[in-house]
C-alpha cells in the first residue's frame, strides 16, 4: 500500500505542489472537510479531476484531524493505492430516520462478498435524516460479525444544521456511503474507548421509544437527571455534554455504550439522545475528566494496535465525538497525541470530529457510540 496525506486551507491552499500520482481503480481517496464545501466544492472538484479512476469516500466534520492537529474550514485528505487489495464503493439515500435501517441493509447487500474483509461507513449526520442506531442494525442484519465495520456520522461544527457525504466524488446531503475492502492482504485494527467516569446509582430504563427516554425506575427521566445536575440543570441541553449516560443490557454485561443528550422536553419530562436507549437496559450518569478522556484515546489506539499486525505505511482513521472537543476545548489535541503515540512508529493519522462513531465495542458486530474516541488502522502486507 502506498500512502500519502495532504490538506487544504483557505489561507494557504494545498499543502502539496502537485497531487501524488497514485490514481488507479484500487486507490481510495479519503476526504474530511468543513460544511462550507457543500456551497463551494471547488477544492474537492480539483481532487476529483486529479483522480478520475479512484474511489472517493468522505464527509463533513466538526473539526478535521490532520496528524495531531485539529483544523476548521479545511480539507484533510489521504490517498491510498493498494497493491493486493481490491476496493468497491457504494451509497444509499437516507432521507429520513425511518429509512436508516433500509439504507444500512442496502449498503451491506451491495458490498457483501466471500472475500470482503472490512467496511468504512460514513453517513449524513443530521438527526432529521438519520437514526444511527437503526443504520447500524441494518448493517449488522446482513454482514457477519467477522467483517470489520467502522466509520461515523458527518458533522457540522457545533451547529447541528446540515452535513454532507461524498457521492460520485461530490458533497451531497441525505446519503450514507461506504467502501468495502476485499482480499487476504488487507489488515484492520479497531478500538473504541470513552474515558468518562461513572457516578450515581444505576437505574433501569422503564419507558423509552428509540432514542427518546421517558422514565428511569418508573420515574420521569428529565426530573431525575436534573436532580443530579443541580445548578447545571439551568444550562440544559448544553450542559448535558458534560454528563452523558452509560447504558448496558444487564448488570452482568461489560459492554457499556455512551449516549449523548441532544435535547430535552420539559412537558413530557423526556430526553432525546444521539442513539437509541432500549427499554429494559440499565443507565448510569457519567462525567468528564480531562485525564480520563486522554487516557481513553490512548486505550482505543492500544486496542486497535493489538488487533492488527505492525506494518509500514499504516493509516490511522481517528473519529472522535464533537462533544469531547467541546468539553476539552484547547486541550483536545492532547487526545490525538495520545492515540498516535501508542500506534506503530510511522503511522499517519487522519480523521474528524463527528456526530456519532461506528465501531465494534471490542469484537464482533459494530455499534453506534457517542462521546467516544474510535481508532481504525488500515495496512496491507
Both 17 and 53 in one domain: the answer is: yes
Residue 12 has a pLDDT of 96
Both 366 and 308 in one domain: the answer is: yes
- What does the DSSP assignment read for 181-206? EESSSEEEEEEEE---EEEEEEEEEE
| Lowest-confidence segment of 174-188, 230-244, 280-294 by average pLDDT | 230-244
Residue 158 has a pLDDT of 84
Give the structural domain span for 208: 197-287
Q: What is the mean pLDDT of residues 132-152?
A: 96
Q: Does pLDDT of 96 surpass 80? A: no
Both 12 and 39 in one domain: the answer is: yes
In whole angstroms, give the CA distance from residue 266 to residue 333.
Answer: 36
End-of-domain residue from the set 267, 287, 307: 287
Both 53 and 69 in one domain: the answer is: yes
Predicted confidence band of residue 354 (pLDDT cuts 50, 70, 90): very high
Both 177 and 309 in one domain: the answer is: yes
Both 208 and 322 in one domain: the answer is: no
Q: What is the mean pLDDT of residues 174-199?
A: 95
Both 203 and 318 in one domain: the answer is: no
End-of-domain residue from the set 237, 259, 287: 287
Both 264 and 350 in one domain: the answer is: no
In whole angstroms, give the CA distance from residue 366 to residue 7.
Answer: 29
In whole angstroms, give the CA distance from residue 355 to residue 163.
Answer: 10
Q: What is the pLDDT of residues 106-125, one digit of tens each?
A: 999 999 999 999 999 999 99
Query: How far, CA to CA in Å, does 89 sit from each of 56, 181, 340?
Result: 8, 9, 28
Percent of the residues in the chain that have a pLDDT greater than 90, as a whole number:
84
Q: What are phi and psi of 67, to 5 degrees?
A: 70, -120
What's the gap between Cα 362 and its chain centre? 15
Predicted confidence band of residue 164 (pLDDT cuts 50, 70, 90): very high
> What's the predicted TM-score (pTM) here?
0.93
Domain count, the chain: 2
Backbone φ/ψ region at 87: left (φ over 0), alpha (ψ -120 to 50), beta: beta
Both 145 and 160 in one domain: the answer is: yes
Both 309 and 184 in one domain: the answer is: yes
Percent of the residues in the chain that have a pLDDT greater than 70, as a whole number:
100
Q: What is the average pLDDT value for the chain, to the nearest integer?
A: 94
Both 218 and 162 in one domain: the answer is: no
Q: What is the pLDDT of residues 120-139, one digit of tens each?
A: 999 999 877 889 999 999 99
Q: What is the mean pLDDT of residues 242-252?
A: 93
Contacts of 224 (CB under 8 A, 6+ apart): 203, 216, 217
End-of-domain residue from the set 243, 271, 287: 287
Q: Does pLDDT of 54 surpass 80? A: yes
Both 189 and 139 in one domain: the answer is: yes
Q: What is the mean pLDDT of residues 42-60?
A: 98
Residue 289 has a pLDDT of 83
Amino acid at each position: 500500500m502506498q500512502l500519502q496525506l495532504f490538506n487544504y486551507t483557505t489561507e494557504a491552499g494545498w499543502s502539496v505542489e502537485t497531487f501524488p500520482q497514485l490514481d488507479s481503480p484500487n486507490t481510495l481517496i479519503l476526504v474530511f472537510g468543513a460544511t462550507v464545501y457543500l456551497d463551494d466544492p471547488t477544492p474537492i472538484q480539483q481532487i476529483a479531476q486529479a483522480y478520475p479512476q479512484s474511489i472517493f469516500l468522505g464527509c463533513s466534520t466538526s473539526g478535521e484531524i490532520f496528524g495531531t492537529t485539529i483544523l476548521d474550514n479545511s480539507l484533510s485528505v489521504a490517498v491510498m493505492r493498494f497493491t493486493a487489495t481490491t476496493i468497491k464503493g457504494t451509497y444509499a439515500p437516507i432521507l429520513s430516520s425511518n429509512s436508516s435501517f433500509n439504507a444500512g441493509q442496502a449498503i451491506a447487500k451491495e458490498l457483501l462478498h466471500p472475500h470482503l474483509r472490512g467496511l468504512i461507513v460514513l453517513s449524513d449526520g443530521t438527526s432529521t435524516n438519520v437514526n444511527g442506531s437503526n443504520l447500524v442494525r441494518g448493517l449488522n442484519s446482513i454482514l457477519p460479525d467477522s467483517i470489520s465495520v467502522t466509520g461515523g456520522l458527518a458533522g457540522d461544527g457545533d451547529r447541528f444544521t446540515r452535513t454532507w457525504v461524498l457521492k460520485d466524488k461530490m458533497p451531497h446531503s441525505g446519503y450514507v456511503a461506504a467502501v468495502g475492502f476485499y482480499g487476504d492482504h488487507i489488515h484492520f485494527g479497531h478500538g473504541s474507548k470513552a474515558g468518562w467516569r461513572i457516578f450515581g446509582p444505576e437505574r433501569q430504563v422503564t419507558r423509552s421509544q428509540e432514542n427518546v427516554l421517558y422514565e428511569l425506575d418508573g420515574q420521569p427521566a428529565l426530573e431525575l437527571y436534573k436532580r443530579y445536575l443541580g445548578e447545571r440543570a439551568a444550562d440544559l441541553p448544553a450542559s448535558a455534554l458534560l454528563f452523558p449516560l452509560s447504558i448496558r443490557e444487564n448488570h452482568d454485561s461489560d459492554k457499556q455504550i455512551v449516549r449523548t443528550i441532544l435535547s430535552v422536553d420539559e412537558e413530557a419530562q423526556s430526553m432525546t439522545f444521539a442513539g437509541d436507549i432500549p427499554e429494559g437496559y440499565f443507565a448510569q450518569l457519567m462525567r468528564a475528566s480531562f485525564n480520563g478522556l486522554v487516557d481513553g484515546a490512548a486505550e482505543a489506539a492500544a486496542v486497535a494496535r493489538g488487533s492488527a499486525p505492525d506494518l509500514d505505511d499504516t493509516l490511522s482513521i481517528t473519529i472522535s465525538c464533537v462533544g469531547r472537543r467541546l468539553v476539552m476545548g484547547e486541550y483536545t489535541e492532547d487526545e490525538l497525541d495520545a492515540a498516535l503515540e501508542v500506534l506503530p512508529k510511522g503511522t499517519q493519522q487522519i480523521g474528524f470530529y463527528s456526530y456519532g462513531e461506528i465501531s465494534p465495542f471490542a469484537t464482533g458486530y459494530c455499534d453506534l457510540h457517542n462521546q467516544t474516541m474510535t481508532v481504525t488502522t488500515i495496512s496491507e502486507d
